[in-house]
Amino acid sequence: MKLHDVMPLLGFGTYGRWNEEGVEAILAALEIGYRHLDTAQTYDTESQVGTALQRSGLARSDVFLTTKISTENYGAGKLIPSLETSLGKLDVEQVDLTLLHWPSPNGAQPLGEYLEPLLEAQDRGLTRFIGVSNFTIALLEEARSIAGEGRISNNQIELNPFIQNKKLAQYCVEHDILVTCYQPIAHGHLGEDAVLVEMAKRYSVSPEQLALAFELAKGYAAIPTSGKVERIRSNFAAQQLILAPEDIALIETRDRNLRAIAPDWGPDWD
């Protein structure tokens, strides 16, 4: 079974969905039809996801759950217990996808030290699929050589019309690693681009819907978030939008390599 076959490509991001308001936004997303929720140990939203899932009345098997291991939990003896804590907060036996949230800050820990326990977590059935986030081509090469062919099934990276990460995304596509776009709507800033605004008007959609339709057309997954029901709904509706090939090509020209998330301890980007 491949990740591409089971992960709904449009998911709901949960960064910032805190407290009861957060639970309500996640629940609204489930009611609107999202069947993929993205959380992380550092977001402090795993319990909100668990509560919303419970309240929705949906079966566990109906919703694809992703969490990410914090770099603080890297290493033998730490990673698996931290994932067990995440399962407790989510109130599930198993997550669908577990990612290494970032490469070890400043490369301080060798990759094997924190990838091996993730492989073990998958072998023990704590997670169906495993993957990485914010990994460069060099790190993916290393991860694939440690893990063996076919085990690293996802790389979650910053990707939207302003930062298209073309080289890295191409590498992932070539090696059957599903790309998930975070900040897929550039945090609501797409309306600053006159070309996108004009195209959105032509299709009678929002620039955010344009971006999401573009990412899905490229075969990527995308995980926008919002605290507002109308936006949660309109982002979801982007799945209905089919863009003409010439418009996909025009969106490709809007790439400005405008990276919003680049901590100084992060990797040297491709």
Ligand X SMILES: NC(=O)c1ccc[n+]([C@@H]2O[C@H](COP(=O)([O-])OP(=O)(O)OC[C@H]3O[C@@H](n4cnc5c(N)ncnc54)[C@H](OP(=O)(O)O)[C@@H]3O)[C@@H](O)[C@H]2O)c1
- Positions annotated as catalytic residues are 43
- Least distance (Å) from ligand X to the CB of residue 93? 22
Residues 168-187 that bind ligand X (CB under 6 A): 182-187
Of 249 and 261, the one with the shorter C-beta distance to ligand X is 261
**Which CA distances in Å does 231 have to 28, 43, 49, 120, 209?**
11, 21, 19, 39, 10
- Least distance (Å) from ligand X to the CB of residue 4? 19
- Least distance (Å) from ligand X to the CB of residue 30? 15
List all residues 6 or more positions away from 7 whose beta carbon is below 8 Å from its beta carbon: 36, 64, 96, 97, 129, 154, 178, 221
Spatial distance between the Cα atoms of 157 and 38, rounded to a whole number of angstroms: 13
Contact status: 96 vs ligand X (CB under 6 A): no
- Least distance (Å) from ligand X to the CB of residue 257? 16
Sign of CA dihedral 125, 127, 131, 132: negative
Of 101 and 128, the one with the shorter C-beta distance to ligand X is 101
Contact status: 262 vs ligand X (CB under 6 A): no
Give the binding range for ligand X (CB under 6 A) out of 1-9, 163-171, 196-204, 219-227: 219-227
Alpha helices, DSSP H, located in the chain: 3-6, 19-32, 46-56, 79-90, 111-123, 137-147, 166-174, 194-203, 207-217, 229-237, 245-252
Residues 55-94 that bind ligand X (CB under 6 A): none
Per-residue binding string, ligand X, 6-25, x by CB under 6 A, is: -------xxx----------
Contact status: 133 vs ligand X (CB under 6 A): yes
Three-class SS state of 40 = coil
- Least distance (Å) from ligand X to the CB of residue 137? 17
Element (H, E) at 67: strand 64-69
Per-residue binding string, ligand X, 21-60, x by CB under 6 A, is: -----------------x----------------------
Among 8, 112, 188, 266, binds ligand X (CB under 6 A): 188
Among 261, 262, 263, 265, binds ligand X (CB under 6 A): 261
Dihedral-angle region of residue 110 (phi above 0 means left; psi in -120 to 50 means alpha; beta otherwise): beta
173 close to 212: Cβ distance less than 8 angstroms: no
* Cα 165 to the center of its chain, rounded Å: 15
* Positions in the binding site for ligand X (CB under 6 A): 13-15, 38, 101, 133-134, 156, 182-188, 206, 208, 223-228, 231, 234-235, 261
